[in-house]
Amino acid sequence: MVQGNTRSDAGSSSREYGMSFEVAPAASVPLGAPVTLPVVVGVRPVVASRGAVQLVAHASLRNEAGSAPASGLTGVLTSSVRSRNGNTTSGYARFGPLKFTQPGRYRLRIMLGATSSNGVTTKEFVDSGVIQVLAGAGAARPTPSQVARLQSLIPENIDITAADIAAWQSA
């Protein structure tokens, strides 16, 4: 389940952008081992932006309820929003490989920020479903629907190739 602005503590009220998980994190991940299957979030403007902005997304770990920050996440945690047209206000942010270093139950939060001549402003966020971090858990392989989605993202300039997808399938 993906959570966003439907929760009372979710996102900004500006609703300038919509965010959704295109490739969500697995429900169960191994403790201390890199999760190579990337997390991908789609970003779409809800209203036309005013002026030139650059969008950047950042991943962080939250407790199971999503109500407080948690420690124990490393890896590529920041991504510009890109598409086949380059850095844009509509596209995708890719995170990974991620590594979870503390056992437990968490949510991954992706926050969207906009940079402009006026500084950086947080615009929106989306929370993943619950992720259980377990010692001895196996690496997540992509589902057939994830494979199809990943294949459709190859031309989107977010560093996903057919060879990457084949490697994730055989992991």
Q: Is the pLDDT of residue 45 over 70?
A: yes
* C-alpha distances in Å from residue 158, one per residue of 86, 91, 134: 9, 9, 29
Q: What class does CATH assign to 17-164?
A: mainly beta
Which one has a higher pLDDT value, 87 or 167? 167
Whether residue 115 contacts residue 51, with contact meaning beta carbons closer than 8 Å, is answered with no
pLDDT tens, residue by residue, 92-144: 999 999 999 999 999 999 999 988 777 888 999 999 999 999 998 787 889 99
Q: How much is the pTM?
A: 0.87
Domain boundaries, the chain: 17-164
